[in-house]
Structure 1
Amino acid sequence: MVKVTFIEQDGTRREIEAKEGDPLMYSAKDAGIAGIIAECGGSAMCATCHCYLLEAPNGPLPEMEPAEEDTIEFTANAPTERSRLTCQIVVDARCEDAVFEVATGR
């Protein structure tokens, strides 16, 4: 398991354990992270798992694929260079101690 921190919309910091090999969205949703809605179930179509990557102390996370970039480009939640869809981040050792701020509903 990999420890990841989410900052929810109200500022609450929640550390969760994420299962290696699974999309980060699954662990966030299972842990009840407020704002991770995951309407499309992980197909990079809805951006209801949009977060901002604030810290990645164990190296850069895998680069975005075109589908993730396209979805983020059209999200209503102020996309930035730190934007990621948690459904598209497969948990591995690089995610250990990463910090994400939930963007949904901004």
Structure 2
Amino acid sequence: MFPSARLLLFCLLNVVMSEKLASVDFEIFGNVQGVCFRMYTEDHGQSLGLSGWVKNTRTGTVIGQVQGPVDKVDKMKYWLQNVGSPSSRIDRAVFSNQRHISKLEIHGFNTRY
């Protein structure tokens, strides 16, 4: 390997390894069941390259967890609070247990039942 290629590889690895990761739990209130909210959440999380899960509750809310780079987790939080699925109505989004993590604890994004 050429010295310049090694230097480039070293720099890229440092950027990737120094990327800050976050984890956050969420609960979404409103008209969020029966409107494909879980499917859209899973699709949006995957499109951002995030890991996590989403699930309906017996009380009519949607809960889940999101993990990934801080900036992408923030984008997902905005989406959960302000966008959602086309037919949903989001009254309130509660985020809890937000923390920095050193590595992903969940791999992939899926719907739980």
**Fold shared, TM-score > 0.5 on shorter chain:** no
* TM-score using structure 2 length: 0.25
Please identify the structure whose Cα radius of gyration is greater: 2
* TM-score using structure 1 length: 0.26
